[in-house]
Structure 1
Amino acid sequence: MVARTVEAPGGRALAVEVSGDQQGSPVFLLHGTPGSRVGPAPRSSVLSRMGVRLISFDRPGYGDSDRLPGRRVAEAAADVLAIADGLGLAEFAVAGRSGGGPHALACAALLPERVSRVAALVSLAPRNAEGLDWYGGMTPSNVREYHHAERGLLRIEDAFQLRSRVIKRDPVRLIKDLVPELPPTDRTVVTDPGIRRMLLSTYRQAFRYGAFGWIDDVLAFTTDWGFRVEDIRVPVRLWHGADDQFSPVDHSRWLADNIPGAELYLEPGAAHFGAFEEITSTLKWLAG
């Protein structure tokens, strides 16, 4: 595993980690919300056997990456491009899980000559998605957060900063807070010792310097993304657990209907955190 810092547009620093086969097929894995570059992923030895060179990074405002105030989802494409250029990658694939899904789709839309394939697992759809009840089937805590975010930064900043300080001291707290709203299948996933360790690591890293990565993600999801998913022309694979209530399954259904040629895989009996168990097969598809 190799850690490094890459300069993004505007001179910002992005914290990057590369694992797996250093000569393998390059695949970016964009973390969830909240999250960081050390989030759930296959072990480096597994990636090496698969021939995958996995690249992850802290989105702006998370972990060791500089904040980009007011960023839109589209900005992720420029950051991924800066990292790819820094690593000397002519072509690469991109995966995004949960909050990373919209950012992966930004790469599909805005970097068609560099991106070979894109996968989005349990992704949200755009807030202005025509014909989609965006809040339909969503867990009450997420509905509250996004409703507040739609009223602007000042409505959520203090609450998110307070929560981030609590979670930084005790990362288990975030998992405990989520459990009452989780379906049984997700409770089983987050109580797995390996998954739990990775979640604790990613939350600790995410909130090293505060909650602005989390805040800026939520604000970006509830405003214009800066691109149209209808313009995507690279191969896209969508995966969603049918019982997901954090990112309701109708979001991926809408994406499948509006992204030309997108393939949608709905897994009965799985929910939001079932995406962790799907990452390995997704990376195999992305690596071709």
Structure 2
Amino acid sequence: MVAESAVTVDDTKIHYRETGDGRSVVLLHGGIIDAAHVSWPQVENRLAPEYHVVAPDMLGYGESELADRSYSIPGHAEVIAGFLDRLDLGPVTLVGLSLGGGVAVQLALDRPDLVETLVPIDPFGLGRELPNGLLSYGLARVQVCNKLAIAAFRRSRRLTRASLDGVVYDLDSLSESAVDAVYREVKRPTAGAAFRRFREAEVTRGGYRTTFTDRFDDLSVPTRLLHGAHDELFPVAWAERAADRIPDAELHVLDDCAHWAPREDPDAVAAHIEDAVDGS
């Protein structure tokens, strides 16, 4: 059974889900419209019989506070480090999806004492190039487009479902529970606000501000990279380059996934996490 609670980190409320007993696995969700209950329930269910699973809502997402502080990758990593310290959880197997993957890598670099094993899934930070070049930069500067899209999604579950076609390989195979979770989250009054602040902090005319391409050699923990073969946001080539340069890394490409593997193939994701934990 999943329990829900919250702790205060630097005067900011961070909400989290917790289930199971055993070695600790911490799951960090992605950006845009996401939260722990959106991306991770199926993976939590598969891990809970053997592991202690903790899934926080990151700063400004889900039920965590939308605080007046940095929403950059280093800023998010600082909050998660405080969260792990607050719960006395380290060292853990740290799993991160997309935005959460970048936060996980940043944390492993900044606080390797908190991370036993790293599992980034289609992570942010493996390259600098924007997926749509100057269009991505323009959208990050003109945030009204994101606000209008979210307003439209709130009025239509069908439109919300259609929007997920950009992050999954086969929309018809996506569970209705995944669509329902996104649709519930998009109705939250603060939906999208944290992502807009993240884009303000991280999207520049020259590309993403935070990239780890010059720091791969500094990662000192075992790293299991997972990447969807059909990810159109972050190229598989970025993950291949990272796996070649991180000292203790391996890459597993998920054939039937795009950018949302925890919902597209939770069995494979859970199995890889189990292997990472047991191998550490």
Same fold by TM-score greater than 0.5: yes
Distance 1:258 1:187, change over 3 A: same
| Alignment equivalent of 1:187, drawn from 171, 186, 195 | 171
For 2:80, the equivalent position in structure 1 comes to 80
Deviation, structure 1 residue 109: 0.9
- Contact (CA 8 Å) 1:17, 1:56: kept in 2 or not? yes
Deviation of 1:81 after TM superposition, in Å, equals: 2.3
Amino acid at match of 1:54: V
1:166 to 152, 166, 173: 152
Deviations along 1:164-214, one digit per CA (max 9) or x if unpaired, are 2333444542331343x577x432432x3343334434544xx44242211
CA contact (8 A) 1:30 1:95 kept: yes
Contact 2:185 2:191 in 1 (8 A): no
Match of residue 250, structure 1, among 208, 228, 237: 237
C-alpha separation in 1, matches of 2:185 and 2:51: 21
Q: Identify the residue that residue 3 of structure 1 maps to in structure 2.
A: 4
After superposition, where does 1:1-288 map in structure 2 within 5 Å?
A: 1-9=2-10, 11-18=11-18, 20-21=19-20, 23-34=21-32, 35-41=34-40, 42=42, 45-49=45-49, 51-64=50-63, 65-128=65-128, 134-135=129-130, 138=131, 143=133, 146-148=136-138, 155-179=141-165, 181=166, 185-190=169-174, 192-204=175-187, 207-222=188-203, 223-225=208-210, 228-276=215-263, 277=265, 278-288=268-278
Q: TM-score, normalised by structure 1?
A: 0.79
Q: Which runs of 5+ in 2 are unaligned?
A: none
SS at match of 1:14: strand
Measured in 2, the distance between the counterparts of 1:241 and 1:43 equals 16
SS, match of residue 74 in structure 1: helix
Please give the alpha-carbon distance, in whole angstroms, between the structure 2 residues aligned to 1:269 and 1:159: 30
Unpaired segments of 5 or more residues in structure 1? 129-133
Contact 1:168 1:208 in 2 (8 A): no
CA contact (8 A) 1:246 1:272 kept: yes
Using a 3 Å threshold, how does the CA distance of structure 1 residues 244 and 62 change in structure 2: closer, same or farther?
A: same
Inter-CA distance 75–163: structure 2 relative to 1 (3 Å threshold): same
Give, in whole Å, the separation in 2 of the partners of 1:208 and 1:57.
19
1:96 Cα deviation (Å)?
A: 0.8
- Alignment partners' CA distance in 1, 2:138 and 2:235: 19
For residues 104-136 of structure 1, the C-alpha deviation after alignment (integer angstroms, 9 at most, x for no partner) is 1112111111210011111233454xxxxx24x
CA contact (8 A) 1:244 1:271 kept: yes
**Compared CA separation, residues 74 and 13, structure 1 to 2 (3 A):** same
Separation in 1 of the partners of 2:6 and 2:193? Answer: 19
Q: Distance in 1 between matches of 2:248 and 2:30?
A: 25
Q: Which residue of 2 aligns with 1:131?
A: none
Contact 1:186 1:272 in 2 (8 A): no
Amino acid at match of 1:148: G
Amino acid at match of 1:27: V
How much has 1:102 moved relative to structure 2? 0.6
> What is the DSSP-based 3-state SS (H/G/I as helix, E as strand, rest coil) of the residue aligned with 2:66?
coil
> How far 1:31 moved relative to its partner?
0.6
CA contact (8 A) 2:124 2:234 kept: yes
Structure 1 residues 287 and 25: alpha-carbon distance in aligned structure 2, compared to 1, 3 A threshold: same
Offset from partner CA, 1:73-118 (integer Å, 9 cap, x none): 0223322222222323242111011222111111211111121001
Distance 2:145 2:114 in 1: 39
Q: Tell me how far 1:245 sits from its aligned partner.
A: 0.9
Give distance in 1, aligned partners of 2:61 and 2:151.
Answer: 13
Aligned residues: 265
Which has the bigger relative contact order, CA under 8 A and spacing at least 6? 1
Equivalents in 2 of 1:189, 1:144: separation in Å?
32
Q: What displacement does 1:27 show?
A: 1.1
- Residues 27 and 95, structure 2, Cα contact 8 Å, conserved in 1: yes
Query: Cα distance 1:220–1:26, how it changes in 2: closer, same or farther (>3 A)?
Result: farther
